[in-house]
Chains A and B, each alone.
Chain A
Amino acid sequence: MYEVKILTGNETAAYAAMNSKVRVVAAYPITPATPVVETLSRLVEDGKMQAKFIRVESEHSAMAACIGASAAGSRAFTATSSHGLAYMHEMLHWATNARTPIVMAVANRAIGPGWNIWADLGDALSQRDTGWIQFYCSSNQEIYDTIAMAYRLAEDRKVLLPAMVCYDGFVLSHTSMPVELTKFDDFLSEYEPVWQLDAEDPFTHGNILPPEEFAELRHSIQKSHDRALKLMKKIEEEFYELYGRRTPLILDEYKTEDAEKVIVTMGAIGSEAKVAVDSLREKKIKAGLVRLKSFRPFPEKELKNLLEDKKIFVFDRAISPGSGGPLYNELKSALAFTPVKRITPRIVGVGGIDVTKRTFERALFERKIWIKEVIS
């Protein structure tokens, strides 16, 4: 057993970076991710974390510095949220094509105007096409484990992609709960880059790439995503054997086997949904839950296997205007040509509306797509 501390999601992310042997942190503060940056700078300053902390003037520069650090052979980490993530957008694409396995904590928050600091997955979901691996967590322990697991995955020779570890702003970022501070020594060694910039042996990185070669690069990135899914299962198993914790990377299912109505969702509300499933079962309603953890790569096959004969309710804490819930749309396309009975969209928790177990219970029986109130 390792030390168990009562920590916020943000503190957890910082400790996870420290114990994942991160050697370069470049970050810029933004609510609600600021305490990650504060905690990391304190850990570095106190000499508890052997890393270089680079102060930058913006999120765009934070990601640029992480790309540089990673290309030079260091394990790099940053954290951001909302407008900060949006400001990084160009560099997110860059990190993918550069094949720099950076891991970033994202405390999910709405993007304004109107000015809103609260939970909403729209910031990260609107980055889904940047090529980053995306995980959505539902507890602080999961944030902690996932950051180390994300490095293992991202740095694998078969993957070499950056990864976001996302968690609902305030709901997880500022809520304290017990976290076992596992040391990852058996699981994650110092970063061993496949290639790295070297002043003694100079080469150009990110130079012009003609059409055919660019297409090859993009195709290889897609193939890396496919391989990442397979590797996730192996990493989950290895992690479980070492530490005895089932921390899912692909998805988490709860009472789905005999379920008729299955809730599908992501993030912290996926934890609340567990309580809702128990409560529905007490009322003799055969409910189940699939909490998707990996949104990119999207685990089409795994979802198909679990859901193809169920009535599905998809709860999105985000909206893609002009289309609908991002998770709903992805799932609908994944389940095309299967005998799935029904797939129903629900938009909940947008802009930080608190999502309670009763929100789920009621949403299963009401016809409204949007739930714009707290159902206490």
Chain B
Amino acid sequence: MLISVRFHGRGGQGAVTASKLLAEAASLEGYYGQSMPFFGAERRGAPVVSFTRISDEPIYEMSQVYHPNIVVVLDPLILKAVDIFRGVKEGGTIVVNTTKAPDEFVFDQDYLNIVSVDATGVAIKNDLLVAGLPVVNTPMLGALLRADIPLKIEVLEGIVRKKFGKEGKRNVKAIKEAYELASIKLVHGSGKRSYPRKKKIKVEFPISTPAEGVAGKTKLWRDFRPEIDYEKCNDCLNCWIHCPESAIRLNEHVEIDYDYCKGCLVCTTVCPKKAIASEREVFVDV
């Protein structure tokens, strides 16, 4: 028996921790657990991925998981940035943090089990917030138990209680609630698998030039959205100078490029006129 799980999240949401907690729970149940995060040049908000393998025998695989049985998606925004269905085995399970219903998802496999749960809602309700943002990893682990995985909820709760100390109680409550709330449904996909062509790469010199959007539309990293109040702005250009992403453009006045602004709020801090306010980002249509 080998169960492989892929976690998708954004930096700061606890995908790596969730992946490790799952391996620990499996280990307590007498299985061999392995947790392997993939690290790039991560920052808060950037897409991250982590893997967990569970087996009844020692695991010798040291490569990433390319054909998971289960995928856990911590953030609905990720659906816009990465292909969460990639490589998932036929009949596998996708556990997704969403307010959508399971059959609203479209994929290439013949059929998959979709577990949908509003983990953000559960996190907010249980006050699982870090720096004002909901942390959904523990409720998502609760929802994950809806998939075909031989772990008891009590074991997971025990591990979470131990890991989070004072906050253990709230996390355990969130696990229970998410497990209850989650709905699972067998959903049919198109069955038309596509295999993207590989790009040819040629590198002779380690040289690069600035290019717009090499990391994709980084607006998805944003948790807070800066807004310029042009009534107060005196065109001092302080925000334009300080923006680390060059996402403030200089036209007639300073303008924020919302495709690439990552929401770091340096502009809000440096504005001498306090003309840049910030609000929680709400993306419509995801």
Which chain A residues have a beta carbon within 8 Å of chain B's beta carbons?
4, 6, 32, 112-115, 117, 138, 168, 170-172, 174-178, 268-269, 271-272, 274-275, 354-357, 372-374, 376
Contact = CB atoms under 8 A, between A and B. Distances in A.
A176 B63 contact: no
A32 B67 CA distance: 26
B39 interface: yes
A356 B198 CA distance: 18
B206 interface: yes
A252 B44 CA distance: 41
B169 to A, nearest CB: 23
Nearest to A141: B58
A10 B42 CA distance: 19
B14 to A, nearest CB: 15
Nearest to B64: A354
Contact of B39 (A115, A168, A174): A174
B20 A114 contact: no
B60 A271 contact: yes
Contact of B63 (A115, A174, A178, A355): A355
Contacts of B20: 6, 176
Interface residues of B, number: 25
Contacts of B24: 6
B206 A272 contact: no
Contact of B59 (A172, A177, A373): A177
A138 B58 CA distance: 13
B60 A274 contact: yes
Main secondary structure of the interface of B (DSSP, over half): loop
Nearest to B39: A170
B91 interface: no
A258 B167 CA distance: 56
Given A174-B36, A177-B32, A356-B63, 9 more contacts: A6-B35, A32-B39, A113-B206, A175-B62, A176-B33, A177-B35, A354-B63, A355-B63, A372-B201
Contacts of B60: 271-272, 274-275
Given A6-B24, A274-B60, A356 B39 contact: no
B63 A357 contact: yes
A96 B56 CA distance: 44
Interface string B55-76: 0000111111011000000000
Contacts of B62: 138, 168, 171-172, 175, 268-269, 271-272, 355
A115 B32 CA distance: 35
B27 interface: yes
Contact of B198 (A112, A114, A373): A373
A178 B27 contact: yes
